[in-house]
């Protein structure tokens, strides 16, 4: 398996991984109707738009045969409410490919790209009931904050790295 920067040709496969991994990850955590609303078509349009931007920081994990099995996406911290310049927006890997160090490799790819583009720090939001929160703790993310996302009926936790370089080791 390998990690590469995504391009617009990856939009359709990204959409499928995004929707499928959401359903796998959040089954039993989020209401079924929320998960059922996710559509491949809507996500493909979103990914196509993101990947056409000059400053996208999207990396994908692919099998040797070229099948897209995971991704990570980052950029500027979106709220302006925290003393972190960058943000890991999403990281998802299809369930059957998890536990193969792909999460660390994808996180490192986004962090390296952000660092190369002048970002010194980064945060991430994770659903509190999602076991992947332990991944962020294992890679030395510090707890920052929590908030309720009413429309999704979940609580999210923020983890951050004041010095993004720690993720590049």
Using only C-alpha atoms, the chain has a radius of gyration, in whole angstroms, of: 15
For the segment 59-70, the average pLDDT, to the nearest whole number, is 95
DSSP-assigned beta bridge partners for residue 156: 127, 147
DSSP-assigned beta bridge partners for residue 87: 75, 123
- Our count of domains for the chain comes to 1
Largest CA distance in the chain: 42
pLDDT of 106 above 80: yes
For the segment 100-110, the average pLDDT, to the nearest whole number, is 93
Residue 127 phi, psi dihedral angles, 5° rounding: -60, 130
Give pLDDT, residue 32: 78
For the segment 135-151, the average pLDDT, to the nearest whole number, is 90
Between CA 102 and CA 105 the distance in angstroms is 5
pLDDT of 152 above 80: no
Give pLDDT, residue 36: 79
Residue numbers of the domain that contains 96: 2-168
Q: For residue 94, what is the domain's CATH number? A: 3.40.630.30
pTM of the full predicted structure?
0.90
- pLDDT one-digit tens code per residue, 71-80: 999 999 998 8
């Amino acid at each position: 398996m390998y990690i590469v920067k995504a391009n617009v040709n990856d939009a359709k496969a990204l959409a499928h991984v995004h929707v499928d991994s959401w359903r796998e990850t959040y089954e039993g955590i989020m209401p079924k109707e929320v998960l059922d609303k996710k559509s491949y078509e809507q996500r493909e349009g979103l990914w196509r738009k993101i990947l056409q931007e000059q400053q996208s920081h999207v990396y994908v994990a692919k099998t040797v045969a070229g099948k897209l099995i995971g991704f990570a996406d980052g950029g500027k911290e979106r709220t302006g409410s925290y003393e972190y310049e960058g943000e890991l927006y999403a990281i998802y890997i299809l369930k059957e490919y998890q536990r193969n160090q792909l999460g660390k490799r994808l996180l490192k790819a986004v962090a390296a790209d952000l660092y190369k583009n002048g970002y010194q720090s980064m945060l991430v939001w994770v659903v509190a009931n999602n076991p992947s929160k332990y991944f962020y703790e294992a890679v030395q993310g510090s707890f920052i904050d929590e908030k309720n996302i009413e429309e999704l009926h979940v609580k999210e936790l923020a983890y951050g790295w004041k010095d993004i370089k720690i993720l590049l080791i």
